[in-house]
Structure 1
Amino acid sequence: MAESWQLNRFRRFLVHEFKSRIIFNGEIKANMTHEKNPKRFLHFPFFQGAFPSSPKQIPLEITAGIAFAAFAIPEVMGYTKIAGMPLVTGIYTILLPMLVFAIFGSSRHLVVGADSATAAIIASGLITMAVPGSPQYVAYAGMIALIAAIFLLIAGLLQLGFLADFLSHTVLIGFLTGVGIRISISQLAGMFGISAGSYGTFMQLASLVRDLDLTNVPTLIVSLSVIGIIFLSERIGSKVPGALIAIIGAIAASWMFDLTSYGIIILDAVPGGLPHLSFPQVPLSDIPKLFNISVACFLIILAQSAATSRAYSVKFSDTFNENSDLIGLSLANAAAGISGTFVVNGSPTKTEMVRSVGGQTQLTQLTTVFIVLIVLMFFTRPFAYLPTAVLSSMVFLIGLRLIDTEGMTALHRQRPVEFNVALITAMTVVVIGVEQGIVIAIVLSVIAHLRHSYRPLNLLLVPKPGGAMRTVPLEKGQQAVEGLLIYRFGSNLYFANENRFTKEIIELAKKDGSLKWFCISATNIGDIDFTAIEAFKNVCIQLQQMNITLVLSEVVQPVMNELDRDGITKMIGRDHIFESVQDVIEAYKRTAD
């Protein structure tokens, strides 16, 4: 009895230590318990997203993994249709790729698998190179995954995760909205039972309108039934797998009532078993043609995965390493490339699915992998009875959900300029293509970034009663103290905004003939380039000619080093560089007295 009590006590002690401490760089560091989501940098780079985990949480993770499989399998079938790949290859995306990321990734929450944006990019790029679903098409898709894996690996090793910051949320809203419109329109023909012969969004829409009288009514009834079941299940609760219910119901109806006799097209045979591991056989001369598609996929993976990981790490007060995740995503895409499937991405949709069913770590995904393995081994045969209209309806709904009307409305209301950027991106995707849309998205993101730094918010500072400072617009020209004006520049100083910097300072200096000191508050200036240094010298000279003393405050050390090196400190005088604007005011008052 006493021995059993001691054993249980020792076991509880070990569990507590495992949860509250991790080994890193040879040291034992105290950390938070799982409930507070610990930092997880183990001394071995495996399963960082799965462990440590509370023993009480493990059964919940397994249950969540089973539920997630019920959601994920129908969803990836839809993404497979978008990509133009054989149905079983979609199920492969949640086998080896998901397993590999669970082993090598750092995020506890990010779910890796097929994604609508990257699937649309693949289809848009390969439609002119091979017949969708053909062995050549599958080989091209596998090679795209391998090339994207190389880009992700290089980005991870060079710690380039920060590049995700250059794809703004605004253009992603526009890009995904455009993808959603394009996907939804592309599935209408399949939902109506009409041949979708044309390529291009508007051509497909025109073809549908022209051939509307050829609609197969039983196929349309199947499509509407699927949409109705999914909508009804969502109204009942988020944990009801409406897509799975629709698929099972459609398969059962097809088997019992022979729906093909009504002109409804079914999938026919779906191969089962595990994927065959091999290097995709693509002619060397064709590989350069795949680079643009691979780069577009890489950029979407980089931006979308990082954004999703960050959002959920904040939501759960957790930590992750975006460069480790890039390595994990690289290896996941390499696994996709050699297992006969297509590019995988960190999916916000799947990540939210896992959260909604109670999953909190990669243990959920590991459980899902096991369920998918069982499905591939024993349960692919019933899919042969599945009407293709079911998948068209599911993809149509996926497209509708990508159309971010809420985000576009918010942009239009709050930031009209950014709304125009998102709208241009969306229209490029719809009218021209997905690859071109991602290029426009990148260009517009960079332009938006330059616009913010090119036209920063520059203000004047004046003291409030009690000594604190408040800001006022430049137009007021208000002095902090009679004879002293404090000007705060709102950005780093570089070639594109140095002219604005010079012009504003000289105009303010000329505005009031009583000005004696001009203070530049440099608290927002973290860097200054060669062109801006020359502008700084020009400002010094012009103010000296107007008998105005130039002083600086709150200069950060890197900028101070530049000023020292280029002789500006000597021009201004070190005694005219202050730690704060309050010091400037006190020094000015002393000289005025």
Structure 2
Amino acid sequence: MNMKIFQTMKNYKLNYLPKDILAGIIIAAVSIPISMGYAEVSGLPPVYGLYGSVLPILFFAMFTTSPQFIFGVDAAPAAIIGAAAAGLGLQAQSPEAMAFIPMTAFFAGVWLMIFFLLKAGKMVDYISTPVMGGFISGIAVTIILMQIPKILGGSSGTGELPELIVSIIEAASHINPVSVVLGICSLAVIVVARKLAPKFPMVIVVMAAGVLLTIFCHIDQYGVKLLSAVEPGLPHFQCLQFRSVDLSQAAGRGLMVAVVIMAETLLSENNFAFRNGYKIRDNQEILACAVGNIASAVVGCCPVNGSISRTSMNDQYGGRTQMVSIVAGFTMVLLLLFGTGFIGYLPVPVLTAIVISALMKVVEFDLAERLFRVSRNEFYIFMAAFFGVLLLGTIYGVIIGIILSFIAVVLKATNPPRAFLGVIPGREGFYDCSKNRYAHEIEHVIIYRFSESLFFANVKTFQEDIENSIKEDTKVVIVDAGAMTSIDITAADRLEMMCDRFEKQGIHFYMTEHMASVNEQMRQLGIGHLIEKGNVRRTITAALHDSGYMEPYVLNGYTVHKNGHMLNIPAETENTLEEFTWAFGDETVDQIEKRVHQVLESIHSMPEWEEIAEQGIESSLKYWHGIGAIDEDEFLRRMEIHMDELPEKLADQDHRRIILGLLEKRRHHIREQIGREHPEVLERLQRRREKLEQRLEKQNPEGARRLRQWERELRWKKEENETI
């Protein structure tokens, strides 16, 4: 567990300092109206919003891994707690409310600490870009709508979209023209300056202009609201009221707030991290939020959260590290000690315009437009998350978006890309026949590519595609499962039934090209016998060879000739024992030995052994055919080790000597054939033989000892016959 503090300030460079200081001062200035307003929304006196902009922001900066995210009193937690307090009958700013609200912040911190210990930060991995974009845009638009009544001359709106519309209509019925003009002009100046001179701190200029208007033009006399005056002084540490508060209510509301804080902060932080090219540690961010909320509780404030508007402002003015938060925190300290008189001169419409200008950058309607053009399903997910936040609130917006994301994943998995493959004359590989006009299907063969993991929701599509493609003359069905990373029990049962049905129809069925882990799943799901029977091959070529189809393939009236002749060098094109390793994993050696025993048990006469010496063991292997020359050499050597397992009538010394001689004759023939046709492979054969002897010595030391003894006896007998 990495508990280093101030991680974003590691290797801090002095040239960062000017922009960090400027951004910090701007953040502190912007936090004044935001934090005071949301403190009031939560049911606390406005000054507590300033108190919540000191310790919480500093503690968050201490533990966060995000170099630019800003913490503080924010909309969603304040609105939830304000509604909860009102629902419990607690009057705003009453002693009961001022005891209950810090307790919810404390329990929110405790729940977040539990989420940190449970490593709940992984939840953000399950949230797609459309969900994240819709969620962030929904929050930004919600906060903008909350601010509009303040531009019109009223108080901040609360609740979701229906309540916000009512608030705007009510404010419009008592509109203050001077307030509207002041707010719109401030917003226009900031937006234009952002385009013409994005690095110029126009926000501070606008704020200073608002103060000057109040001092010299007395705009408050025209009904323009000013921020409430604040008594100077730092926040005091408070004892939490465990005895006078309903702990079950405080813990319950704290849990709800903790979930909202975790979801909103992680989504927002990841959004900024992605846009600016850095990484954060999600779980560490939960810890930072937990510590920040506990710090908020001890100064009597409401739950605190990551702020999109202030982070956007930080991003705009080039803040590089959490030095911005430290500067903002200490600027707020100086303000509380020496500058509270200044606060009373700040016009609310001007500060509201500053907040709205920051939020306008956060709304991702450009992403919505892009999604509408390239993926309607993801566009609908974006809009569902967006309207979910607007209509139902933060947490429901996230839930709706995540549910829709999973539905989209399932729908995509049930209709994956798939194709029937063929061969293009003169080229290697297999090609989608529907997209390559020169690709031809191999005669009597169906090669079907299924580009998705196989599970209950798509196995019917898989089965129907294959069964609908089968013709009367179909002899082989091969599945290219290269994109198949997993199968479930429903798919496993269906594969088993398909294999049985095709076997009765005289059709060879194969699964090929998939990862070895799928074979392990097949064994765990009880269909490992399909691997043993040879229905699972490593490559499409291996499956074709196994079913008797060799190059050049016959294609719907077109015969492929490769360089004018047929390639038939199994020593290089195939490696059956490597395929055994791919198919059987840790059971490879046992499965090879099993095949050796099967061959030994199937041969009962000397003519059969003489046939092996002439033709090889290909015909004696059950299911796994197409064995390469080098691999046949290993099979023969393993058979020699098991000579003591010959049938009784062949187990005497004379027969054993003859059989060993026949096997050595075959191995000598393999060496000569490889040396003649592919001399470059000869060295590989020798290395394989040396490694095999070492493996056999470890795997079966007693069998290896007996074999050496029999070989000595065979040499002695041969030398004796030559002497005579």
Quote the Cα distance in structure 2 between the aligned partners of 1:185 and 1:110: 23
Counterpart in 2 of 1:373?
A: 333
Residue aligned with 1:267, SS = coil
* From 269, 290, 293, the counterpart of 1:305: 269
Match of 1:76 in 2: 31
Distance 1:479 1:82 in 2: 69
Amino acid of the residue matched to residue 427 of structure 1?
Answer: F
**1:70-469 correspondence runs (5 A):** 70-77=25-32, 79-80=34-35, 81=37, 84-85=41-42, 87-92=46-51, 94-113=53-72, 128=87, 142-194=102-154, 201-202=161-162, 204-205=164-165, 208-209=168-169, 212=172, 214-278=174-238, 281=241, 282-287=245-250, 288-312=252-276, 315=277, 320-346=280-306, 350=310, 353-354=313-314, 357-463=317-423, 466-469=427-430
Q: 1:567 to 1:289 in 2, by over 3 A?
A: closer
Matched, 1:489 2:450: yes
For structure 1, list consecutive stretches of 5 or more residues without a partner in the other structure. Answer: 1-40
Structure 1 counterpart of 2:6, from 47, 56, 60: 47
- 1:200/1:522 CA distance change after superposition, 3 Å: closer
Distance in 2 (alpha carbons) for counterparts of 1:473 and 1:355: 49
SS at match of 2:9: coil
8 A contact 1:115–1:347 mirrored in 2 = yes
Identical residues among aligned pairs (%): 23
User: TM-score under structure 1 normalisation?
Assistant: 0.78
Aligned residues of 1:117 and 1:176 also touching (Cα < 8 A): no
Distance 1:461 1:150 in 2: 58
Give the aligned residue type for 1:63.
Answer: P
Q: 1:211 to 1:227 in 2, by over 3 A?
A: closer
Give the match for residue 535 of structure 1: 494
Give yes or no for the alignment of 1:61 onto 2:23. no
Return the offset for 1:364.
4.4
* Map of 1:556 onto structure 2: 515
Secondary structure of the residue aligned to 2:478 is strand
How many residues align? The count is 541
Q: What code does the residue aligned with 1:499 have?
A: K
Deviation at 1:383, TM superposition (A): 0.7
Q: Deviations over 1:28-63 (max 9, x none)?
A: xxxxxxxxxxxxx98x7233322134xxx2x22221
1:493 and 1:527 in contact (8 A); partners too: yes
Q: Structure 1 residues 419 and 339 mapped into 2: Cα distance closer, same or farther (>3 Å)?
A: same
Shift of 1:139: 5.7
| Structure 2 equivalent of residue 27 of structure 1 | none
Q: How does 1:32-43 map to 2 (within 5 A)?
A: none
Deviation, 1:342, is 4.4
Once the two structures are TM-superposed, the CA of residue 413 in structure 1 deviates from its matched residue by 1.4
Secondary structure in 2 aligned to 1:487?
strand
Aligned to 1:502: 463
Structure 1 segment 571-586 matched on structure 2, within 5 A = 571-573=530-532, 575-585=534-544
Residue of structure 1 equivalent to 2:606: none
**Relative contact order, CA 8 A, sep 6+: which one is greater?**
1
**Larger displacement relative to structure 2 (268-277 or 215-224):** 268-277
| Structure 1 contact 308–348 (Cα < 8 Å) conserved | no
The answer to whether the Cα contact below 8 Å between 2:308 and 2:359 also exists between their aligned partners in 1 is: no
Letter in structure 2 aligned against 1:253: L
How far does residue 176 in structure 1 lie from its aligned partner after superposition?
3.0
The verdict on how the C-alpha distance between 1:364 and 1:75 changes in structure 2, with shifts beyond 3 A counting, is closer
CA offset at residue 182 of structure 1?
3.1
CA distance in 1, matches of 2:375, 2:298: 45
C-alpha spacing 1:278/1:425, structure 2 compared with 1 (3 Å): same
For 2:422 and 2:51, locate their aligned partners in 1 and report how far apart those are by CA, in whole Å.
Answer: 64
CA shift in 2, pair 1:420/1:277, >3 Å: same
116-125 or 89-98, larger mean C-alpha shift: 116-125
User: What CA distance in whole angstroms lies between the structure 1 residues aligned with 2:184 and 2:175?
Assistant: 13
Q: How far apart are the structure 2 equivalents of 1:427 and 1:346?
A: 21
Alpha carbons of structure 1 residues 246 and 324: separation in structure 2 relative to 1, 3 Å: same
* TM-score for both structures, normalised by structure 2: 0.65
Answer whether contact 2:423 2:440 (CA < 8 A) is retained: no
Cα RMSD (Å): 3.7
Structure 1 residues 188, 61: CA separation in 2 closer, same or farther (over 3 Å shift)?
same
Checking the alignment, whether the CA contact within 8 Å between 1:121 and 1:297 is kept in structure 2 is: no
Cα deviation code 1:95-150 (max 9, x no counterpart)? 33333233333344544445566666666766655566666666665445444434
The answer as to whether partners of 1:185 and 1:204 remain within 8 angstroms in 2 is yes
Counterpart CA distance in 1 for 2:205 and 2:487 is 61
Q: Equivalent residue for 2:476? A: 517
CA contact (8 A) 1:61 1:364 kept: no
What is the CA–CA distance in structure 2 between the aligned matches of 1:336 and 1:583, rounded to whole Å?
A: 67
C-alpha contact 1:533 1:566 (8 A) present in aligned 2: yes
Structure 2 CA distance, aligned partners of 1:461 and 1:122?
61
The structural deviation recorded for 1:66 is 0.8
User: 1:389 and 1:355, CA in 2 relative to 1: closer, same or farther beyond 3 A?
Assistant: closer
Change (3 A) 1:458 1:277: farther
Per-residue CA distance 1:248-304 (angstroms, 9 max, x = gap): 221232233333322222222224443333465442142224533432332222333
**1:62-91 CA deviation, whole Å, 9 max, x = no partner?**
212211113312443454335725554454
SS in 2 for 1:332: helix
